[in-house]
Amino acid sequence: MGEQTLWALDGIDTIIEPGEFVAVMGPSGSGKSTYMNMIGCLDVVTEGQVYIDGSEVSSFQPDELATIRNEKIGFVFQQFNLLARTTAEENVKLPLLYSQIPESEWSERTLKCLEQVDLGPRADHQPSQLSGGQQQRVAIARALVNDPVMILADEPTGALDTHTTEEIMALFQELNEKGTTIILVTHEPEVAAYAKRQLIFRDGHLVSDELTANRVSLDIDNSSLVSNEQ
């Protein structure tokens, strides 16, 4: 009632450079999801600007936002959001369907991304035939397939056990080492500890922006990743 306006985010001014690994933290209702939706072009700001890879996207129309999401951003979700009864390969290929990338490159890109997450041999498996960790890795491959400027991961380990969480986070670190920008939303400090930089939100405000003090670094090599899953 009344004219009181509630700002989900207020006075946020952040810059994330290429190659960063940022964890976005905060309790429920702190605004961290809204922040991610803004930079993920899933939602638009009411005031202010958002720049992605040099484009000012806050004034974009739905179609333009879709193109930005397709070309610049790779999403990883808590619930994986894979298409059921569809093979891993087809799932990974999905963003290419909406892209300008020529069809002749699709298979090569898809398989390369599946190999990057160590699921090359499982290309023809459907989600129901894969474990939770493997499903999330398919989702990560899908996020990588369009060669985005950043990966946005929203509670990517929320549905996984501790051991699998470690594997996924190691994979993110590995990808980051190779140059992929990663922005990770989580409310678990243990998960945030894998990132290089931590943003903490509270009540719509950014209350802390610091480098991770005791960064966890898991140097699990590829072979152990595969063997752990099997």
**Which residues are near other proteins by CB under 8 A?**
37, 40, 42-43, 62-63, 66-67, 69-71, 75, 77, 79, 81, 83-86, 94-95, 97-99, 142, 146
For the bound state, the minimum distance from the C-beta of residue 148 to other proteins, rounded and expressed in Å, comes to 10
For the bound state, the minimum distance from the C-beta of residue 34 to other proteins, rounded and expressed in Å, comes to 9
Judge contact between 53 and 24, C-beta under 8 A: no
In residues, how long is the chain? Answer: 230
Nearer CB in complex with other proteins: 97/226: 97
For the bound state, the minimum distance from the C-beta of residue 118 to other proteins, rounded and expressed in Å, comes to 22
Tokens of 17: 């450079």
How far CA 157 is from CA of 19, 76, 121, 162, in Å, comes to: 21, 10, 23, 9
For the bound state, the minimum distance from the C-beta of residue 69 to other proteins, rounded and expressed in Å, comes to 5
Residue 62 and residue 91: Cα distance in Å, rounded? 23
For the bound state, the minimum distance from the C-beta of residue 171 to other proteins, rounded and expressed in Å, comes to 19
For the bound state, the minimum distance from the C-beta of residue 61 to other proteins, rounded and expressed in Å, comes to 10
Owner of token pair 């939100």: 201
Nearer CB in complex with other proteins: 138/225: 138
Judge contact between 25 and 198, C-beta under 8 A: yes
The residue type found at 14 is T
Nearer CB in complex with other proteins: 69/197: 69
Nearer CB in complex with other proteins: 186/198: 186
> With the C-alpha atoms ordered 123, 164, 217, 222, is the resulting torsion angle positive or negative?
negative
Nearer CB in complex with other proteins: 85/163: 85
Q: How is residue 121 annotated by DSSP? A: G
Which residues does 49 contact at the CB level (< 8 Å), separation at least 6? Answer: 56, 58
Tokens of 99: 């892209």
Nearer CB in complex with other proteins: 93/197: 93
